Amino acid sequence: MAARTLPSVLVVDDEKHSVASMRMALEDDFNVLEAMNATEALALMEEHWVQVVLSDQRMPGKTGTELLTEIRDRWPETVRIIITGYTESNDMIDAINEAGIYQFITKPWHPDQLLMAVRNAVRLFELARDHERMTLEMRYLGSTATAKLDARRRQLQEGLGFDSVWRGPNSPLNAVIALARQYASFDVPVLLTGEAGTGKTELARAMHYGSLRSDRPFFELNCTGLSDEALAAELFGIKRGAAPGVQSTRFGILQKADRGTIILNGIDSLSEVMQLTLLRLLREGAYQPVGSHETQTSGARILAGSHRDLRQRVAEGGFRGDLYFALAVTELHVPPLRGRPGDVAGLAEKFLHAAAEEHGKPVRGFSDSALEFLEGYDWPGNLLELQNEVIRMLIIAQEVTLGPELISRHILQAEPGENGADRKAADLGTMDGTLKDRVEMMEMRILRETMTRMKWNKSRAASELGLSRVGLRAKLDRYGIEPRAATSEEE
């Protein structure tokens, strides 16, 4: 264990017996440095880290006050004490004003008195140093925390803003994004329409982080399938004892959002009662937690998402017209994935590399023929279906480049159309034409899917289909089925 370092105390007096007396009184508790005049004292100050200086007032050359004044200017943290046999008021005033002394000690002094004074002075020195250190740390931590918060806010705005919504240079989504940017900074409700899985929540999040509310919370609530009671509890909160098992008050997302943004998806499924409650919230900003009679207000911005056409719902009497117009200050329609054929390849690559990083599996990308199949499918499940398919392909892939043989059979068998596959025709029961036409259509799709999955190895494909190589080749020629892109045949 390292020995404790004693605090250093400098005693300055032109009388040797006075210096010896002070050393004897202090040497057990302190490292005592000795000087006979101001010049020697300043030299020792430059060589040692001194916590306390005890100086006689009347000395040849510089007086104690002059010495301590210079020490205060050069080493302001050092605690200064005057020892004097004289008590002239002018000397005391000069010492206080000029030297900033901590204490006067008059001669003759008692050893215990001197020891106690120096101990207190050392403690004062340590406290002053601790205070300075903590002040610097708090200043640094405060500036660091502010810098980190600003950096995090910028990161969120960049990572979750409009740039995070991937689309191609000529994507139909570009016009929607341009309009969303304009409405982002205005505190008005916006209605987002589009099929399930088209990215309405992602667009709403981008609008939030592109607005002046970006430093406030963002919440998403899907209203579909929730009862009025469950929806009210989630949205408005619930008071303690308002329902069985509720032992404490629960805050709703209107309180949690706190001047942030809320996207209410599935707004078309609201009951008449909840429609009226939401209308009051939009008009007055007022609501009541479940089980409470107290009216509260919210400053949250409300965005709404709907899978169905609300204008048609209003015309059919299934949705309040006044609520529709309160929600739809502007209406942004998010196109389905089949309406964004140029975006599928880029989105698939984005999902692939994100999943590869998450699961720690190296990949290079998709082959050209795989991208052709993915782009030719209409993706009725939109973004989520595409993401799930990409993850499934990544899991079963054995090579760094993912080929079409990894794609699910129903996608390979789908007939590519002008805007993706005709999913209705994929069901044999809904096809038009004679029985022969329908059978031939299904035979063609099965042949295409099998050849792709077998990487155009005709021997393996013929064996699986129960055909000879000659018979398989004849059917491929009959239907005009050829390898997509750069798929080579294995003999």
Q: Do domains 8-130 and 338-479 have the same CATH topology?
A: no
CATH fold label, 162-241+249-335: Rossmann fold (3.40.50)
From the list 86, 82, 74, 95, the residue with the least C-alpha distance to 56 is: 82
53 phi, psi to nearest 5 deg: -120, 125
Query: Sheet of 190-193: strands edge to edge?
Result: 218-222, 261-265, 301-306, 190-193, 331-333
Strands 218-222 and 52-56 come out as unpaired
| Least confident range of 257-266, 425-434, 442-451, 460-469 | 425-434
Q: What is the mean pLDDT of residues 124-136?
A: 81
The length of the chain, given as a count of residues? 491
Residue 96: count of CB within 10 angstroms of its CB: 13
87 phi, psi to nearest 5 deg: -125, 35
Q: What is the mean pLDDT of residues 84-109?
A: 71
Domain ranges of the chain: 8-130, 162-241+249-335, 338-479
The SS3 call for residue 174 is helix
Q: What angle do CA 398, 400, 404 make, to 5 degrees?
A: 70
- The dotted CATH code for 338-479 is 1.10.8.60
Q: 146: which 2 tokens?
A: 């502010």
Q: What is the mean pLDDT of residues 294-317?
A: 91
Tell me 298's DSSP state: -
The whole-number pLDDT of residue 487 equals: 43
Tell me 224's DSSP state: T
Rounded Cα distance between 132 and 19, Å, is 32
- Alpha-carbon torsion (143, 145, 149, 155), positive or negative: positive
Rounded Cα distance between 298 and 261, Å, is 11
Give pLDDT tens digits for 323-363.
999 998 889 999 999 888 888 999 999 999 999 999 999 99
Side chain identity at residue 376, one-letter code: G
The whole-number pLDDT of residue 437 equals: 63
Give pLDDT tens digits for 448-487.
667 676 667 777 777 777 777 777 777 777 667 777 543 4
Tell me 52's DSSP state: E
Q: Measuring CA to CA, how many Å separate 210 from each of 109, 180, 182, 335? A: 74, 9, 10, 21
CA atoms in the 13 A half-sphere facing the CB of 135: 6
Give pLDDT tens digits for 174-203.
999 999 999 998 889 999 999 999 999 999
> Does domain 8-130 match CATH 3.40.50.2300?
yes
Query: Sheet of 103-106: strands edge to edge?
Result: 31-35, 8-12, 52-56, 79-84, 103-106
Q: Output the average pLDDT for the chain.
A: 82
Q: Do 36 and 13 form a contact (C-beta atoms < 8 A)?
A: yes
Residue 40: count of CB within 10 angstroms of its CB: 14
Tell whether the model's pLDDT for residue 429 goes beyond 60. Answer: no
From the list 384, 390, 389, 391, the residue with the least C-alpha distance to 359 is: 391
Contacts of 62 (CB under 8 A, 6+ apart): 37, 38, 70
Question: Residue 34 pairs with which residues in a beta bridge?
Answer: 11
From the list 415, 403, 410, the residue with the least C-alpha distance to 490 is: 403
Give pLDDT tens digits for 237-247.
888 766 666 65
